[in-house]
């Protein structure tokens, strides 16, 4: 099992030509909210806000996965490529190399943290024609790549954050199950590598377990390693490329 011993911060720029449009967000497995005042379920919303795609998530609803289907930016794919190249370890159910055309899109599944460009204010990340943000990668949190069908969103995220998993009553099995359930709806089985294609479910489950376990391991990491990481703005995100 990997253990986090360091954190790397990437300052990324995503260029766009949008003028404050609404993001096409779709929520999976919606239920009445247990805590309407919580903002954790929208932890990844600043990425959409910074790129002029206004996210709207009802406080009255909880969900298992938030999915964004548009507007699409070429920078979304470039960001996925960058995060993939900077990942300490990658678990692949297909060829993850973006320069190799496998005939379908892929999705990168990774645990990341986000912070504003400067000053602790998200307004500093929203510039005319560009989103500027800091992405934090942990060397003990492996990423995963799967081939996907045309149901896959541009980006998505689990509402479970690092702050959530530190709660004494947190159920890791539930989290693992919700992520596997989502990935099972978008994976393109025929485009997995031959050794995985015939029996993909165990491979998907094990790979998801390693991503989840990497995140769970952060509960025992020395605080100094995570300096600058906001636990309410860190979780598992999905990037199509």
The tally of domains found in the chain comes to: 1
- What pLDDT is stored for residue 217 in this prediction? 95
The answer to whether residue 176 is domain-embedded is: yes
- What integer pLDDT is reported at residue 1 of this predicted model? 64
Parallel, antiparallel, or unpaired: how do β-strands 21-22 and 53-54 relate?
Answer: parallel
Flag whether 1 is in a domain. Answer: no
Are the beta carbons of 132 and 79 closer than 8 angstroms? no
190-204 as b/e: b if 16+ CB within 10 A: ebbeeebeeebeebb
For 67, the token pair is 């999915």
The answer to whether position 45 is within a domain reads yes
pLDDT at 121: 86
Residue at 2 is within a domain: no
Ramachandran quadrant class, 180 (left: phi over 0; alpha: psi -120 to 50; beta: rest): alpha
pLDDT on residue 19: 87
Tell me the HSE value of 219 on the side-chain side, using a 13 A CA sphere.
14
Question: In this structure, is residue 11 part of a structural domain?
Answer: yes
State the residue range of the domain holding 112.
7-240
Residues of the chain with confidence (pLDDT) below 50: none
Q: Hunting for tokens 């002029």 — which residue is that? A: 52
Whole-angstrom CA distances from 109 to 15, 73, 123, 169 are 22, 19, 27, 25
* CB-based contacts of 70, cutoff 8 Å, min separation 6: 23, 24, 154
- The answer to whether residue 159 sits within a structural domain is yes
**What phi and psi values does residue 116 have, to the nearest 5 degrees?**
-65, 160
Q: Which of 6, 1, 43, 3 is nearest to 136 (CA)?
A: 6
pLDDT at residue 36, rounded to an integer? 87
83 found inside a domain: yes
Query: First-to-last CA distance in the chain?
Result: 27
């Amino acid at each position: 099992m990997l253990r986090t011993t360091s954190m790397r911060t990437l300052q990324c720029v995503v260029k766009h030509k949008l003028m404050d449009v609404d993001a096409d967000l779709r929520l999976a497995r919606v239920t009445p909210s247990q805590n309407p005042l919580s903002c954790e379920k929208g932890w990844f919303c600043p990425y959409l806000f910074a790129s002029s795609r206004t996210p709207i998530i009802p406080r009255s609803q909880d969900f298992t996965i938030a999915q964004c289907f548009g507007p699409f930016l070429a920078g979304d794919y470039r960001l996925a490529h960058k995060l993939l190249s900077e990942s300490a370890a990658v678990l692949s159910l297909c060829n993850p190399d973006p320069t190799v055309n496998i005939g379908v899109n892929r999705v990168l599944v990774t645990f990341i943290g986000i912070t504003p460009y400067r000053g602790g204010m998200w307004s500093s990340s929203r510039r005319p024609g560009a989103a500027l943000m800091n992405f934090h990668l942990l060397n003990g949190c492996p990423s995963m790549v799967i081939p996907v069908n045309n149901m896959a969103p541009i980006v998505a995220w689990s509402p479970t954050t690092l702050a959530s998993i530190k709660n004494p009553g947190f159920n890791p099995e539930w989290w693992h199950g919700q992520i596997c359930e989502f990935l099972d709806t978008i994976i393109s089985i025929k485009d997995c590598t031959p050794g995985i294609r015939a029996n993909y479910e165990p491979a998907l489950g094990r790979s998801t377990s390693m991503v989840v376990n990497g995140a769970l391991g952060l509960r025992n990491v020395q605080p100094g390693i995570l300096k600058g990481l906001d636990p309410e703005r860190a979780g598992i995100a999905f990037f199509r490329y």
